[in-house]
Amino acid sequence: MRYRLGKPCDIKEIVNIHYSIRESYSIGVFAHLGKSFLHQYYKIILNDKNQLVVCAEDENGRIQGFCSATLNVESQFANIRNHKLALGFSAIKSIVRDPSLLKSLAERYKSLCENGAEKFIVTKGARGEYWAWSKTYQDSISALEMHEVHLKILKDLGVKQLNFEVDTINKKVLNFHKFNGAEITKIMILPDGRERVLMRYNLVDRKSRL
């Protein structure tokens, strides 16, 4: 397995992997949005100068997993707000199929706004986002190695602390991050009743346990 930086030309493969997550984790607004929305989202993300996406590429050159993070979440939120119309149009088909998504998207958008009262995700500094692996290529060791490469690159780029969120229903991922040295900074209840944990890696002092 080869690990490399993700690029705009990888959008299709990254979208397909992200879309497949809903088969095992169907909770949350992103799990109910179609590929057109995800394509627009990653088009924005992969062209953001503060974005880091690490991909795992197999011997045939196919991407089998990716990890994403932003070096500056405030700048990223501003970038997403600047593209709100394009994201909105790309979500129309999904909203028509499930009108309840409109409320969820509105809540999500408010959490990205500087003056938004409710914050369900980390809003300052570097933020870890998605860690996804192909459902058709079982290789848990490579998935863990990819995540470790991701953290090492962030550290080399000068990131001292990486903040991220995990829903407690995702027990395996939560337990992994605890084992791997992440600390819990806050626990909250989301509007839909989910319990979410805000976590942090201290990349300066952390030692890999893999």
Is residue 170 in some structural domain? no
| Residue 33, in any domain of the structure | yes
- Which domain CATH number covers 122? 3.40.630
Q: DSSP character for 184? A: E
pLDDT at 22: 75
Asked if the structure places residue 209 within a domain, the reply is no
113 pLDDT band, cuts 50/70/90, is low
What are the C-alpha distances in Å from 183 to residues 151, 160, 162, 173?
Answer: 15, 14, 11, 13
What's the rounded Cα separation, in Å, for the pair 93 and 140? 34
Name 156's Cβ contacts closer than 8 Å, sequence gap at least 6.
Answer: none
Q: How many residues does the chain have?
A: 210
Query: What is the spatial order of strands in the sheet that 195-202 belongs to?
Result: 2-5, 51-57, 63-70, 126-133, 161-167, 195-202, 183-189
Query: Is the CB of residue 57 less than 8 Å from the CB of residue 10?
Result: no
Q: For residue 132, what are the domain limits?
A: 2-159
Task: Please give the angle made by the CA atoms of 36, 29 and 17, to the nearest 5 degrees.
Answer: 55
List, for residues 62-105, the tens digit of each pLDDT value: 999 999 999 999 999 899 889 988 988 888 888 888 787 777 77
* 186 assigned to some structural domain: no
Q: Is residue 131 situated within a structural domain?
A: yes
Band (pLDDT 50/70/90 cuts) for residue 25 is low
DSSP string, 106-124: HHHHHHHSTT-S---S--S
Residue 148, class by beta-carbon neighbours within 10 Å (0-12 exposed, 13-18 middle, 19+ buried)?
middle
Report yes or no on 37 lying in a domain: yes
* Closest alpha carbon to 130 in 9, 20, 4: 20
User: How many domains would you assign to the chain?
Assistant: 1
Q: What is this structure's pTM? A: 0.87
Query: Does pLDDT of 11 surpass 80?
Result: yes
Q: Mind listing the pLDDT tens digit for each residue in 26-66?
A: 566 777 788 899 999 999 999 999 999 999 999 999 999 99
* Pairing label, strands 126-133, 63-70: antiparallel
